[in-house]
């Protein structure tokens, strides 16, 4: 019995040891890092600190979030040549350690919230989505910004915000909570039409909705794309404020703009929206749009229809590869033109579009960050916005990742695989803190680069046409109404209302035209009950307060 007891005890002790080993294994496993570690030790910087009194006496560590999009084949987003370059050129010279925190792009809110709950969030809290950013502020995660501190530690960045009149967007409840990265306008969102089909039918480019519908009917009747011709490819519309642009009154009364025009939630109960959906219903029942549009939430079906030559009209962000080149491989004789925005405009309307916000990334400072950390972060923004630093970050190393073109504009070298290779989309997730795209100083220069970046060879005119159209229509574009405080109902209900909009839109478009009005009444009521009424009520209250009533 004694011997057996001892044996059992020893076996148990071994087992316990093994389990502990597993746990210990975890603790000492700091992961197999790739590449060299940045020079983050407490050693003094390689250069003597500048005369500038802004260099910190004691080492400051800042944590900056960076999106992780899971693009295959690239180095880790939080530790690669460029993050180390930033540390070397900025951090070491100012006695600051810059740490990057990877945030999964597809689940960022949850990730930020977890970090906040654990007290571990980075010094910058950002989002592209305005209601989401306001939600962070309402949760208490964002500290107010001291404008004087911003002017001192990031003067250029501050000035850019002033020049583009962006600060007002971040001024909520009487304090400045957010600052913004600027956003040069991109002209690659466009609608294309098969010019060769128009030519075959001897029809001119449509300039208003009636003409456009006739063109589509001709496409349908002549089956120019084969037996399954789809005159206009259609997908589930993005449930956001871009909907029903062409049906809005012009000029639009301010109160309607404030209550019904919202980037995140479609105003189903608004008359312009009703008219737009009614037109779509007509088009569906006449067989002018993709019959399976409701199954196409990501647009891949619409794209497939277009690139196989079955679809006559297609709208999307144009890219150099993946759309036109595939179309040409299936239909070598295809010719394309820009479909003017006026083609979607009903009688009496104007080609209104929502003016892009002048800003891209919305940036706030973590309320748990110390003053030094905020200062250091501001210094990073200031450093990054300097033209020479930004240029290097956006283009890389001459001769390796880009070469200079004849016109003084850099041309990217696509498949450089050396150590200095750029991260996703030319390091975008690193410099998105200061700017949303590439800016070459002048409108012509920007347009030129966009033409070669977004369009395949021979189709650059599409971008140019779109640019000219934007310039011509600019006067009809509208900007969102700016509330001086966050609308909490929007953050709370937008997800469910977006889902409901897609559900109701589908029903309304696919129903019999005779049933439309009754169905519309019923669904509007449901929509209001699901939270839209609350949004309108809250907005109305704030609007009236702002107007001093």
Partner 1 sequence: MSKVSVAYETKKKKKKLGFMYYLRRDWQLYLLLVFPVTMVIIFKYFPMAGLVIAFKDYKILKGFMGSEWVGFKNFVEIFSNKDFYRALRNTLILNGLDLLLGFPMPIILAIMLNEIRTMWYKKINQTLLYLPHFLSWVIIAGVAYQLFQPRTGLVNVLLRNMGFNEIPFLTENIHWVFSYVLIGVWQSMGWGTIIYLAAITGINPELYDSATIDGAGRWGKIRYVTLPGIRSTITIILIINLGRIMGSSFERAHSLGNPIVKEVASVIATYVYSAGIQAQKYSFTTAVGLFQSVVGLVLVLISDWISKKIGEEGLL
Partner 2 sequence: MFGDRYIKTKIINRTADIFIYLTVGLLSLLCVLPFIHVLAKSLSSDAKVTSQLVYLIPKDFNLRAYRSVLGDPSMIRSLWHTVKVTVIFTALGMFLTVCAAYPLTRKRLRGRNIISVLFVITLYFSGGIIPDYLLMHRLGLLNKTASLILPLAFSAYNMIIMRTSIQTTVPDSLEESAFLDGASDIRILLQIVLPLCKPILATLCLFYAVGRWNAYQDSVFYITRQPLYLLQHKLNLLIQTTNTSLTSSEAQPDTVTNPEVIKSACIIFATLPIVIVYPFVQKYFVKGVMIGAVKG
Which parts of this chain interact with partner 1 (CB under 8 A)? 8, 12, 15, 19, 109-110, 113, 116-117, 135, 139-141, 228, 236, 291-292, 294-295, 297, 367, 491-496, 498-499, 502-503, 505-507, 510, 529-530
- Cα(216)–Cα(231) distance, rounded to whole angstroms? 5
Q: Shortest distance, CB of residue 208 to partner 2, whole angstroms?
A: 27
| CA nearest to 127, candidates 294, 411, 364, 327 | 364
Which of partner 1, partner 2, none has residue 517 at its interface (CB below 5 to 8 Å by kind)?
none
Residue indicated by tokens 């693009």: 71
Q: Can residue 26 be called a binding residue for partner 2 (CB under 8 A)?
A: yes
- If one asks whether residue 22 binds partner 2 (CB under 8 A), the answer comes out as yes
Q: Does the footprint of partner 2 cover residue 240 (CB under 8 A)?
A: yes
Of the residues 219, 454, 476, 501, which one makes contact with partner 2 according to CB under 8 A: 454
Tell me the per-residue interface mask from 500 to 539 with partner 2, x by CB under 8 A, - otherwise: ----------------------------------------
Helices 488-510 and 533-546 cross at an angle (nearest 10°) of 130
Q: From partner 1, partner 2, none, which one binds at residue 291 (CB under 5 to 8 Å depending on kind)?
A: partner 1
**DSSP run (H or E) holding 519:** helix 516-527
Phi, psi of 218, deg, nearest 5: -65, -40
| Strand 96-104 with 175-176, pairing | unpaired
Integer Cα distance of 148 and 537 in angstroms: 37
Contact in structure between 462 and 455 (CB atoms under 8 Å): yes
Which C-beta is closer to partner 2: that of 49 or that of 76?
A: 76
How far apart (Å, rounded) are the C-alpha atoms in residues 311 and 302? 8
**477 lies in the site for partner 2, by CB under 8 A:** no
Using CB under 8 A, count the residues that bind partner 2: 86
Which residue is associated with the tokens 């956001």? 240
Considering beta carbons, is residue 129 or 372 the nearer one to partner 1? 129
Interacting span for partner 2 (CB under 8 A) from 27-35, 85-93, 154-162, 506-514: 27-35
From the list partner 2, partner 1, none, which binds 359 (C-beta under 5 to 8 Å, kind-based)? partner 2
The secondary structure element, H or E, covering residue 67 is strand 60-68
Binding piece for partner 2, criterion CB under 8 A, among 73-81, 196-204, 373-381, 388-396: 73-81
32 binds, among partner 1, partner 2, none (CB under 5 to 8 A by kind): partner 2
Q: What are the counts of helices (DSSP H) followed by strands (DSSP E) for the chain?
A: 21, 14
Nearest to 374 by CA among 166, 153, 157, 169: 153
Site for partner 2 in 138-177 (CB under 8 A): none
Using CA atoms, how far apart are residues 466 and 450, in angstroms rounded to an integer? 11
Nearer to partner 2, 8 or 386 (CB): 8
Closest-CA residue to 127 (of 144, 110, 140, 145)? 110
Instruction: Assess 11 for contact with partner 2 (CB under 8 A).
Output: yes
Structure tokens at 82: 């460029």
**Contact at 8 Å (CB) between 11 and 58?**
no
Should residue 405 be labelled a site residue for partner 2 when binding is judged by CB under 8 A?
A: no
Q: Which does 294 bind (CB under 5 to 8 A by kind): partner 2, partner 1, none?
A: partner 1
Q: Is 99 in the site for partner 2 (CB under 8 A)?
A: no
96-104 and 60-68 as β-strands: parallel, antiparallel, unpaired? parallel
Contacting residue, 54, 59, 88, 105, with partner 2 by CB under 8 A? 105
Among partner 1, partner 2, none, what binds residue 292 when CB lies within 5 to 8 Å by partner kind? partner 1
Largest CA distance in the chain: 103
Q: Which is nearer to partner 2, 218 or 447 (CB)?
A: 447
Give which of partner 2, partner 1, none residue 219 binds (C-beta under 5 to 8 Å, depending on kind). none
- Please give the residues from 304 up to 323 whose contact with partner 2 meets the rule CB under 8 A: 304, 307-308, 317, 319-322
Helix 460-473 / helix 443-454 crossing angle, nearest 10 deg: 140
């Amino acid at each position: 019995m004694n011997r057996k007891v001892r044996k059992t005890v020893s076996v148990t002790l071994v087992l316990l040891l093994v389990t502990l080993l597993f746990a210990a294994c975890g603790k000492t496993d700091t992961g197999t890092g790739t590449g060299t570690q940045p020079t983050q030790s407490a050693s003094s910087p390689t250069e003597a600190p500048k005369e500038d009194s802004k260099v910190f006496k004691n080492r400051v560590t800042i944590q900056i979030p960076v999106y992780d999009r899971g693009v295959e084949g690239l180095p880790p987003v939080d530790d690669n040549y460029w993050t180390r370059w930033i540390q070397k050129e900025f951090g070491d010279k100012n006695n600051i350690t810059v740490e990057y925190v990877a945030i999964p792009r597809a689940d960022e809110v949850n990730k930020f919230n977890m970090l906040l709950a654990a007290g571990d969030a980075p010094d910058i809290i950002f989002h592209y989505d305005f209601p989401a950013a306001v939600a962070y502020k309402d949760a208490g995660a964002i500290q107010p910004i001291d404008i004087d501190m911003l002017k001192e530690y990031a003067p250029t960045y501050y000035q850019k915000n002033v020049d583009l009149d962006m600060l007002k967007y971040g001024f909520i409840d009487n304090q400045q909570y957010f600052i913004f990265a600027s956003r040069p306008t991109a002209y690659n969102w466009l609608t294309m039409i098969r010019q060769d089909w128009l030519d075959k039918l001897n029809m001119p480019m449509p300039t208003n909705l009636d003409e456009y519908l006739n063109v589509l009917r001709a496409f349908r009747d002549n089956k120019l794309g084969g037996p399954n011709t789809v005159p206009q490819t259609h997908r589930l519309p993005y449930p956001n404020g871009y909907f029903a642009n062409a049906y809005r009154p012009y000029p639009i009364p301010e109160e309607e703009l404030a209550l019904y025009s919202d980037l995140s939630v479609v105003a189903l109960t608004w008359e312009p929206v009703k008219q737009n959906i009614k037109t779509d219903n007509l088009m569906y029942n006449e067989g002018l749009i993709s019959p399976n549009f409701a199954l196409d939430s990501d647009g891949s079906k619409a794209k497939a229809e277009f690139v196989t030559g079955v679809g006559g009209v297609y709208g999307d962000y144009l890219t150099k590869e993946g759309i036109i080149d595939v179309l040409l491989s299936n239909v070598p004789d295809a010719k394309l033109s820009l479909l003017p925005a006026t083609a979607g405009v009903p009688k009496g309307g104007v080609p209104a579009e929502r003016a892009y916000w002048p800003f891209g990334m919305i940036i706030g400072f973590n309320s748990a960050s110390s003053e030094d950390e905020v200062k250091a972060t501001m210094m990073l923004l200031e450093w990054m916005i300097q033209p020479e630093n930004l240029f290097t970050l956006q283009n890389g190393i001459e001769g390796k990742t880009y070469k200079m073109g004849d016109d003084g504009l850099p041309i990217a070298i696509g498949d450089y695989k050396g150590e200095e290779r750029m991260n996703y989309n030319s390091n975008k997730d690193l410099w998105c803190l200061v700017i949303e795209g590439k800016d070459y100083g002048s409108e012509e220069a920007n347009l030129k680069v966009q033409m070669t970046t977004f369009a395949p060879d021979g189709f650059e005119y599409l971008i140019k046409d779109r640019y000219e159209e934007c310039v011509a229509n600019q006067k009809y574009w509208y900007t969102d109404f700016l509330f001086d405080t966050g609308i909490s109902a929007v953050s709370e209900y937008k997800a469910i209302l977006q889902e409901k909009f897609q559900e109701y839109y589908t029903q309304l478009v696919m129903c019999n035209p005779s049933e439309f009005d009754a169905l519309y009444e019923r669904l509007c009521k449901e929509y209001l009950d699901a939270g839209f009424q609350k949004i309108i009520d809250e907005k109305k209250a704030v609007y009236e307060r702002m107007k001093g009533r």
